[in-house]
């Protein structure tokens, strides 16, 4: 027998077996006769690949057949020979694609049994697994089937990033619990049923705070002694040996603890490190109690500190002590017996220098009380512009009496009329009415002036005054001849001046002087034509922008003074016998006349000055050769006369030292300087003496290094 014949016989045998099986399952039966007697035939076949639990709906010549398991199937078709038939997929099972083979044709003389329907999983039909999270206050990590992690940080809905095929199983678990909480999962596991899974419920709740013990280690305790510790003021613990310790009581997580020594051991002093804090989730074990031989206080006396200032001392490079008045002092940290101490000045007081004697040594058996700190006021210098001498006269000021000792004179440009100092006391600037601005470096030790490279610096026509802003970054010069203000940037290293872009800036006619408020935000230009120009200052560039022009109420203005708080301004001019007073708008800088202004002065006031405390104002009256003094009413700015005090011939300026204790008045026609001490409570001027100046002293300023 040939191989081809054997194969044909096997195929016939297999077909016979299939027909027998179909008959056993109700398919492939004999043809059924019709009512008319014509022979009719059935259509049947085989289904494979259907997922368990799924349902397939076929359409056979318009009639539906639902099948829910693999294997043979029979349709309801009963067709006569020669009739066309068609089997198609009406509704595929969820997540699957089904194809029909041998699904159409014409009825022959027997039943159709070779229809084949094959279903396969549809890879694009996938579904997400998710649900909701509630009560979450931290961050929780969820897993599906042990992987596919999703991290959630807020309550609400969620779904895993990886979708699943239909009928795939899922199992949601908590991978990482949130800190301080425990989350549980309901509806955690199941099988995808042809739709998104949205009913997984994750519920989170706060863990109860754990009970935390507080403890640490004890070291250095001498044998035979005991130390008593206390936590939070109640939990006493007596220790008689070095080593680990734990308080009897506990504290809740999130609650404070504070360990103190309530009873020291004999002849010893115990200190606590890491003594306080807030309990976390673990026991506190880092409290360190160290006992050592008893320590001793380090202290002494401070003298010479000026009222209203402070000095910071330091012991052994770490124990800082701030003192605001002379007298006894002690550092807060004791030093063990036999240990060294070293007292130094960490921060000097403003305008003073403090030195230490007996500042170092080794402790013995007693507290150290002989450290001596002596403070003295830094040198103060007076600089006077001699307008016809073309120089600046320099003097050293006696800190106790205010008396002047000549240092010498330093040449300037032609007709020096104004002097300004930078706040750090490093540089001096002189406006020369004959042209230009002279710049000098100040020797802090001697007061001598040395010209700055490039000096003098060009200005406008007839520069009458120079002013430095409070930060020492810009200089402003009033050019009386051309109605402008020149603005310069100051080099902080060399003191050189460089005009800023846009300089000079327009001011009122014949500007005489520029005054800047303490905040450095506004400039007030005294115009020799009965007005004051108000300009805003750009903090970055120093540029001026005109805000408004205010009538002085007194005629031409030669001098404007602003109180230290920047709340009031006062103006005078030689053509009147009065002082105009204004309130300053903090936002716009504009001036508003105070009720009662102007206030009476003597004849032809040349200049007005406010003391550093802002409590008194002084006016130099050129024609009457005297000084008018006023107290300033703090709420209103109203001037209340204090008295009139004799000066020399044609006083042109009043300079007050930073402490507000002395006043210096150059007398233009007398070629000398009147010196006064200032009574702090009343503002009264008490004559100290008259000191010679150069030719026509016109302007004066006091310099004192900050520290």
Per residue in 240-266, pLDDT tens? Answer: 999 999 999 999 888 999 999 999 998
Number of H-type helices and E-type strands within the chain:
1, 67
Classify residue 314 as exposed, middle or buried by CB count within 10 Å of its CB (0-12, 13-18, 19+): middle
Confidence of residue 351 (pLDDT cuts 50, 70, 90): confident
Q: Which residue has the higher pLDDT, 431 or 163?
A: 431
User: What's the 3-state SS for 288-306?
Assistant: EEEEEECEECEEEEEECCC
* CB 443, CB 454: distance < 8 Å: no
302-305-307-312 Cα dihedral, nearest 10 degrees: -80
DSSP state of 24: H
Q: What are φ and ψ of residue 176, in 5° steps?
A: -135, 120
Cis before residue 700, ω within 30 degrees of 0? no
Confidence of residue 525 (pLDDT cuts 50, 70, 90): very high
Classify residue 147 as exposed, middle or buried by CB count within 10 Å of its CB (0-12, 13-18, 19+): exposed
Q: What are φ and ψ of residue 402, in 5° steps?
A: 85, -5
Residue 698 is encoded by which pair of tokens? 């016109």
Answer yes or no: is pLDDT of 31 > 90: no
pLDDT at 444: 87
Answer yes or no: is pLDDT of 621 > 60: yes
Confidence of residue 24 (pLDDT cuts 50, 70, 90): very low
- Number of residues written out for the chain: 707
Distances (CA, A) of 44 to 11, 23, 28: 20, 10, 6
pLDDT at 707: 65
Answer yes or no: is pLDDT of 279 > 80: yes
Over pLDDT 70: what percentage of the chain?
A: 94
Measuring CA to CA, which residue among 539, 495, 499 is closest to residue 516?
A: 539
On average, the pLDDT of the chain sits at: 90
């Amino acid at each position: 027998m040939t191989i081809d014949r054997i194969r044909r016989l096997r195929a016939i045998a297999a077909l016979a077996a299939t027909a027998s099986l179909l008959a056993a399952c109700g398919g492939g039966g004999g043809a059924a006769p019709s009512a008319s007697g014509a022979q009719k035939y059935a259509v049947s076949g085989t289904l494979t690949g259907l997922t368990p639990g799924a349902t397939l709906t076929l359409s056979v010549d318009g009639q539906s057949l639902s099948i829910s398991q693999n294997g043979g199937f029979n349709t309801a078709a009963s067709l006569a020979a020669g009739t066309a038939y068609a089997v198609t997929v009406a509704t595929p099972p969820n997540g699957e694609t089904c194809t029909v083979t041998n699904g159409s044709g014409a009825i022959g003389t027997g039943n159709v049994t070779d229809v084949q329907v094959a279903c396969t999983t549809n890879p694009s039909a996938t579904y997400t697994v998710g649900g909701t999270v509630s009560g979450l206050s931290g961050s929780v990590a969820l897993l599906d089937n042990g992987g596919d992690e999703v991290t959630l940080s807020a309550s609400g809905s969620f779904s895993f990033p990886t979708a699943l095929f239909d009928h795939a199983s899922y199992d949601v678990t908590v991978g990482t619990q949130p800190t301080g909480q425990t989350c549980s999962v309901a509806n955690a596991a199941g099988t995808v049923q042809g739709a998104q899974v949205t009913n997984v419920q994750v519920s989170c709740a706060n863990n109860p705070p754990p009970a935390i013990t507080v403890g640490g280690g004890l070291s250095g305790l001498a044998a035979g002694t005991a130390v008593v510790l206390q936590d939070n003021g109640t939990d006493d613990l007596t220790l008689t040996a070095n080593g680990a310790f734990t308080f009897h009581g506990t504290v809740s997580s999130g609650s404070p603890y504070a360990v103190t020594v309530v009873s020291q051991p004999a002849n010893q002093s115990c200190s606590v490190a890491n003594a306080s804090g807030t309990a976390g989730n673990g026991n506190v074990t880092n409290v360190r109690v160290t006992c050592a031989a008893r320590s001793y206080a380090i202290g002494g006396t401070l003298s010479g500190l000026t009222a209203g200032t402070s000095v910071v001392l330091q012991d052994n490079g770490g124990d800082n002590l701030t003192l605001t008045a002379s007298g006894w002092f002690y550092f807060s940290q004791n030093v063990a017996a036999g240990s060294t101490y070293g007292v130094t000045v960490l921060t000097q007081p403003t305008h003073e220098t403090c030195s230490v004697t007996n500042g170092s040594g080794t402790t013995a058996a007693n507290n150290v009380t002989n450290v001596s700190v002596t403070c003295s006021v830094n040198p103060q210098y007076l600089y006077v512009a001699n307008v016809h001498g073309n120089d600046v006269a320099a003097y050293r000021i006696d800190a106790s009496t205010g008396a002047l000792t000549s240092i010498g004179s330093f040449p300037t440009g032609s007709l020096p009329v104004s002097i300004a100092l930078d706040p750090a006391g490093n540089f001096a600037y002189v406006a020369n009415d004959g042209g230009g601005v002279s710049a000098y470096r100040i020797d802090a030790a001697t007061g001598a002036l040395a010209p700055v490279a490039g000096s003098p610096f060009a200005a406008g026509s007839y520069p009458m005054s120079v002013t430095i802003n409070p930060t020492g970054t810009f200089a402003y010069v009033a050019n009386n001849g051309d109605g402008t203000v020149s603005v310069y940037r100051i080099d902080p290293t060399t003191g050189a001046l460089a005009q800023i872009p846009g300089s000079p800036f327009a001011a009122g006619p014949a500007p005489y002087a520029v005054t800047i408020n303490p905040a450095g935000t506004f400039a007030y230009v005294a115009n020799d034509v009965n007005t004051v120009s108000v300009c805003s200052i750009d903090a970055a560039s120093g540029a001026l922008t005109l805000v408004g022009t205010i009538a002085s109420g007194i005629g031409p203005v030669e001098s404007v003074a602003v109180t230290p708080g920047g709340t009031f301004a006062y103006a005078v001019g030689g053509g009147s016998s009065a002082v105009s007073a204004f309130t300053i708008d903090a936002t716009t800088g504009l001036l508003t006349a105070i009720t009662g202004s102007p206030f009476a002065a003597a004849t032809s006031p040349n200049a007005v000055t406010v003391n550093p405390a802002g409590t008194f104002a002084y006016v130099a009256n050129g024609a009457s050769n005297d000084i008018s003094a006023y107290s300033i009413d703090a709420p209103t700015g109203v001037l209340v006369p204090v008295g009139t005090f004799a000066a020399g011939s044609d006083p042109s300026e009043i300079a007050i030292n930073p402490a507000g204790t002395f006043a210096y008045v150059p007398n233009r026609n007398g070629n000398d300087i009147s010196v006064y001490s200032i009574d702090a409570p009343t503002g009264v001027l008490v004559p100290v003496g008259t000191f010679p100046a150069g030719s026509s002293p016109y302007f004066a300023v006091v310099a004192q290094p900050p520290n």
